[in-house]
Amino acid sequence: MRSKPPLKATRPPTARVILLRQEAPAQPSPGEPCNGCGVCCAAEPCPLGILVSGRRQGRCRALHWDTALSLYRCGMVSQPQRLWPWLPLWARASVSRWARRWISSASGCDATLVGSPAPR
């Protein structure tokens, strides 16, 4: 009897559809400054997003669209009280700074996903 072929350790690349606003900026190249395109956070939550969203997959609950700036922002940085309504007023700025450090917001785009517009 033939033995079964070994299972592959890696999964084949898959395509996923994520919904983003048409007016959102285009995803920059890796290492360039984050421009709020929203691709990474709409695809799956980061470790902070897992904590906030209570799940490991799907769009992060903290991701929100900033109409004035025409870009996506991390709600844990811009308005943590929206995600954690119990947060006292005096703690909001500290949580925002803590979130900014955690997501390393100044480090540039480190997304491993490459977004491309869906065919129409």
The reply to whether 83 sits near ligand SF4 by the rule CB under 6 A is no
Pick one of 9, 10, 13, 37: the residue that binds ligand SF4 (CB under 6 A).
37
Taking only Cα atoms into account, the Rg of the chain, rounded to an integer number of angstroms, comes to: 17
Q: Are 43 and 113 in contact (CB under 8 A)?
A: yes
Pick one of 52, 54, 70, 92: the residue that binds ligand SF4 (CB under 6 A).
52
Residue 34 neighbours by CB distance under 10 Å: 23
Q: How far apart are CA 10 and CA 33, in angstroms?
A: 30
Q: Choose between 48 and 91: whose C-beta lies nearer to ligand SF4.
A: 48
Pick one of 48, 87, 91, 95: the residue that binds ligand SF4 (CB under 6 A).
48
CA 87 to chain centre: 22
- CA angle, residues 38, 14, 8, in degrees to nearest 5: 135
Pick one of 20, 60, 80, 96: the residue that binds ligand SF4 (CB under 6 A).
60
Closest distance between ligand SF4 and the C-beta of residue 9, in Å?
Answer: 26
The reply to whether 91 sits near ligand SF4 by the rule CB under 6 A is no
Which of 45, 44, 31 minimizes the C-alpha distance to 107? Answer: 31
Q: Choose between 37 and 96: whose C-beta lies nearer to ligand SF4.
A: 37
Catalog residues that contact ligand SF4 under the rule CB under 6 A: 27-28, 34-41, 45-46, 48-49, 52, 60, 62-63, 74, 76, 103, 109, 111
